[in-house]
Amino acid sequence: MVEWAPQAGALYERVHQQYVGGARKLEALINELIGEEEGINYLSATARAKDPESFLAKASKPHPDDPTRPKYDDPLNQITDLVAARVITFLVEAVDRVCEVIEAEFEIVEHTDMGAHTRAQGVFGYASKHYLVRLNEHRRELPEYAVLKNLVMEIQVRTAVQHAWAEFEHDIRYKLDIPPDRKPEFDRRFLLAAALMELADNEFTEIDRLYRELAASAPDKAPLDLTTATLTTYLNRRYPDAPHAKTTHYTWILGILHRLGVTTEEQLTELLTDIDSEAVQAAMTHRAPAGTVRRLDDDLLAAKGSAYLELFPDEDRRQKILKGRLKALTRAGLTVP
């Protein structure tokens, strides 16, 4: 082990728990931004602090041009994945929506679109989107983000299919010493798997489009009681161009409807009869196209006005968000109760 590595490793060991706490903050922030505020349908958003052993291995790397000196003169400030997050979505369109939120909410240090890179080479392969980010100016001043204030962090965004390929490929290529004469065989099979990965993502996107198209064209039926299943179909019909929300969000908004005394499709239609949903969305300042549940949430706010806020007496953040959206509706000249 090179002589500078133990000193850097010992320093990181002492401050590691601070980065663990920072990772929790970053994870909560991302989930709040893409889930609670934007209603994007995604599988998971997690963050981690680099473990001391991995840090030591990275800090031990010699400079590529001069093996007698370290690659990192100041590892704690130069290594950019001490805190790193990963967002995994179901569909490619959700990757793009998550990226819009990241670019709006963080200061972007560097952005790498791995998919664009592989396409430019005319091959198939890794298609994740990588960001190096800092907190924006506003959050850097908040005490709750003190541990992240000056930190450069990594955020990766990819689909579940891309994630499965990347994790498996990493385990094989970097943890197994493949003999040179067998490497072409592995390369070919990973290339084939990457092509199938892209095909799967494209087909999931097409299936989603066909599903929403079918739901939007479904004939009117007798009034149905609202369940998560019937509400999902109803919202797809009402907002045919809106992306799907997370399954848990449909359950959440169904509970809100029940608190409003709305338990059937007929009652919900009656409540929203005078609401111009397109005008409502035009008044909003969503960073990315609103999903079906967010669209309904906005329409309910337009229909009920300040009475809608009364459903969330103990949720300070929700109150703040809704008050801001209520002001946006008023500024747009929409009549709100």
Fold of 4-193: Beta Polymerase; domain 2 (3.30.460)
The length of the chain in residues reads: 337
Beta bridge partners of 168: none
Other CB atoms within 10 A of residue 43 CB? 13
Q: Where are the domains of the chain?
A: 4-193, 218-332
**For the whole model, what pTM was predicted?**
0.78
Quick check: helix, strand or coil at residue 103? helix
The answer for residues whose C-beta is within 8 angstroms of residue 164's C-beta and 6 or more apart is 197
Helical H segments across the chain, by residue range: 5-31, 52-59, 75-78, 92-105, 114-120, 137-140, 160-175, 183-217, 228-238, 247-259, 265-271, 277-283, 292-304, 306-309, 316-331
- Residue linked to tokens 């799967």: 200
Whether the CA torsion 178, 179, 180, 181 is positive or negative: it is: negative
**Which of these, 235, 290, 313, lies nearest to 325 by C-alpha position?**
290
Instruction: Walk along the chain (337 residues) and give the pLDDT tens digit of each residue.
Output: 456 667 777 888 888 999 999 999 999 999 999 988 788 999 999 999 999 988 888 887 887 787 777 788 778 888 889 999 999 999 999 999 999 999 999 999 999 987 677 776 665 666 789 999 999 999 999 999 998 998 999 999 999 999 988 888 777 776 677 788 888 888 788 888 888 888 989 999 999 888 878 777 766 555 578 999 899 889 988 998 888 888 889 999 999 999 999 999 999 999 999 999 999 999 987 777 888 999 999 999 999 999 999 999 888 878 888 999 999 999 999 988 8
For residue 135, list its beta bridge partners: 106
Which helix or strand (DSSP H or E) is residue 89 part of? strand 83-89
